[in-house]
Amino acid sequence: MTIGKDLPVRRDFSAKGIDFSEGPKQRTGRTLDVALSGDGFFSVQTPDGVRYTRAGSFFRDPNGGQLVNGDGYALVGAGGPITIDGQFGDSELAIDPSGTVSARGQVLGSIAVTAFADKQQLIPHGQVYFEAPPNLAEVPASAQVMQGHLEMSNAQPVNELISLILTSRMFEAAERTIRSIAETTQQNYRS
């Protein structure tokens, strides 16, 4: 079913799951903003273990130079946390599409990008984090790292509004049906 020109509307309101499709990329120009183009997640070390996210705004921890996100969780590199020596300024940092972080020709680490065979098995934690159950298989990540960009929400506001209106109308119709059945049952009970 479509409403308007080329606006798809979902009919399956019982479908569960998270939409892991890519969101649009916004250029920020900030050296430590990175987005993933393709399938994969950044890994961050939390107090509860490794969590996965596509939120790629990172900072240098002032107490040691590790790359951390806004919540202070360390970005996991291919060989452990990525630490940037204080001798390098942010403008000197380069992150190539494979995730290799370098400055002045010196490799400082490589951002680990993780992908999973079945993303729907990931367990959401908060707004941007996911936990992988122990039996969830990792697969080679196809994502490329885009320095100076952030991934925006993949939500389609017009489609979501249409879905909300349709859901509201379906609820109202169900409510009227239940009310009608209740009234008929009461009338039958009284007679």
For residue 4, pLDDT over 80 is answered with no
What is the per-residue pLDDT for 14?
40
**Segment holding 147, helix H or strand E:** strand 144-147
What average pLDDT does this structure show over 137-160? 86
Lowest mean pLDDT among 21-25, 122-126, 151-155: 151-155
Averaged confidence pLDDT in the chain: 86
Rounded to a whole number of angstroms, the CA Rg of the chain reads 23
Q: Which residue has the tokens 């107090």?
A: 47
Q: What is the pLDDT of residues 96-131, one digit of tens each?
A: 999 999 999 999 999 999 999 999 999 999 889 999
Contact 96, 65 (CB under 8 A): no
**Segment holding 59, helix H or strand E:** strand 58-60
Q: What is the pLDDT of residues 27-65, one digit of tens each?
A: 999 999 999 999 999 999 999 999 999 999 999 998 888
pLDDT band at 153 (very low <50, low <70, confident <90, very high): confident
Contacts with 98 (C-beta within 8 Å, 6 or more apart), sequence order: 110, 144, 145
What pTM was computed for the model? 0.74
What is the per-residue pLDDT for 16?
57
Lowest mean pLDDT among 30-34, 155-159, 182-186: 155-159
